Amino acid sequence: MARNTSVTLTPGSVGSGITTANYIGKSVYDSDKLFRGKIRDFRVYDRALAPAEVLDVSGNTTGIGAATHPGLKIDAIVDDAASKITLPLTEGTDLSTLAPQFTISQGATMSPASGTPRDFTEPLTYEVTGSGGEKRTWTVEALIMKSPVLPGLTADPNIVRFGDTFYMYPTTDGFAGWSGTKFKAYSSKDLVHWQDHGVILDLGPDVSWADTRAWAPTMAEKNGKYYFYYSADTNIGVAVSDSPTGPFTDPLGKPLIARGAFTGQMIDPAVFTDDDGKRYLYWGNGRAYVVPLNDDMVSFDASKVTDITPSGYNEGTFVVKRNGTYYFMWSENDTRDENYRVAYATGPSPTGPWTKRGVILEKRLDLGIKGPGHHSVVQVPNTDDWYIAYHRFAIPGGDGTHRETTIDKLEFDSADLIKKVVPTLSGVDPVSVGATLPTHTNRSLQSVNFTGRYAVARSDSLGYVDPVTSSSTTAVKQSATFTIVPGLADSTCYSFRDTSGRYLRHKDYRIRFDASNGTVVFTKDATFCARPGSVTGSVSLESYNYPGRYLRHYNYELRIDTFQDTATFRADSSFKAVTPWT
């Protein structure tokens, strides 16, 4: 099956050339089971047998030993037990006219004949007749193999979306003992085509307290800063940058969570942001923990750390929220085990209590998929489309330190439980995050009120009646320059106050002041986010909105229509317009 030429030990080295420890059909370990019965035919070869020879020697005269085609991305997957062959082909291969070649036993025949061009857009069958006349039907399926999605060996992928771009942050794999030192970033507009942004953090020169075992990172954003949490030499560190692709620097000069701080290994961080903007840090190996992060994103109150370890937990926590339910996911078994897999629980809060629901991702041997796990999940905005990124043993020949990253769909059933994920070799089709909006396009954003709605108090051209004093004065339509900046959307809550002291909230996506036009800079609001002070002067904001998403004005809503210059809002109820605004 394979050959290892790096062996230095020779048979003569065992027992000084004489040993009685080894037997045909018997392990050297007394606790192992023994071969039962007699051995009829035992042979030693000085070479690997060809597929046809394996069939002949084994007596599998109706078997197919191998399948070949110039377009194969990896070797064909032959499942003898299921009488099935899978042909994983490179992108661009025409499935409608394939002529694969098959290896069968000497004296056996195949119908249709090996090498016959056929349309493989659907699975096809072949019949193999053995030398003794026995028959067997095989199913052959061709597919376009679009995985792995990242080049080379990677693992523990953290997938996240900022604005209209998806980002992936994996472990760099392929090192004995997982001894890699560097983290890289990748970005994509469609989950299929990924751009390599190179190394964003190198433990050697960039981190003073660790220089090996760079594992399992995660990324979060707040107030225009990007926070990169990572495992380093079984500690958890944090680095910060102004960009999701770095460069990143270490703001602490020490681990955020040091080795030994809690039971288990301090590895595998993950950050979840709740609807109220509060961030939670999860981590652990052997034990699972969660703690609310402080506003600075680089500290927490250790007294608030909660142990949330479920049965079967090993590592790789990830949390999402959907329809008011929190989904706590993790990996079970060891990453070197082909039975490495993902399970999950549901709960009413980011800290539980949790109800375990079962396994949602595990191996699929008919496609050669082993050890799928240590995942993350991302949602396409304005949809209920969810995707799961995870690693598996590299195909072919991978193991627990030679892994690769892929993406498949994650779906929910009518009861809001996660359906079993179907791991594939074909991956996913390209996705879109929505309409692409123009960059730096100024829009006039006018406040429009309807009869019976309330206007914001202003001392300008439109009249209003003070509901307390009944005195008449003036008010004016609020207006602003609205600058659309793709790529800046995030889950940060920003609030701004106008000259009346009333608040403009943008809870779902980021709003930034554009100081280039000389207007007064807005400051963040401490009641809802961090409040230092009010502002005066004209309003100039910079933001990124998807169709149908809302800015919030105090406790009311302001909708931005994607390709129009107007919007509507309701303001504070202290002032009522004399006449409807238009």
For the annotated catalytic residues, the residue numbers are 156, 315
Cβ–Cβ under 8 Å, residues 534 and 526: no
User: How far apart, in whole angstroms, are the C-alpha atoms of residue 437 and residue 434?
Assistant: 9
Cβ–Cβ under 8 Å, residues 114 and 128: no
User: How far apart, in whole angstroms, are the C-alpha atoms of residue 284 and residue 157?
Assistant: 16
Partners of 493 in beta bridges: none
User: How far apart, in whole angstroms, are the C-alpha atoms of residue 313 and residue 525?
Assistant: 40
Q: What is the 3-state secondary structure (H, E, C) of 269-304?
A: CEEEECCCCCEEEEECECCCEEEEECCCCCCECHHH
User: How far apart, in whole angstroms, are the C-alpha atoms of residue 147 and residue 286?
Assistant: 30
Cβ–Cβ under 8 Å, residues 236 and 299: no
User: How far apart, in whole angstroms, are the C-alpha atoms of residue 47 and residue 25?
Assistant: 21
With CA atoms as reference, report the closest residue to 391 among 133, 62, 155: 155
Partners of 221 in beta bridges: 226
User: How far apart, in whole angstroms, are the C-alpha atoms of residue 53 and residue 51?
Assistant: 5
H-run or E-run covering 243: none
User: How far apart, in whole angstroms, are the C-alpha atoms of residue 139 and residue 546?
Assistant: 46
Cβ–Cβ under 8 Å, residues 529 and 148: no
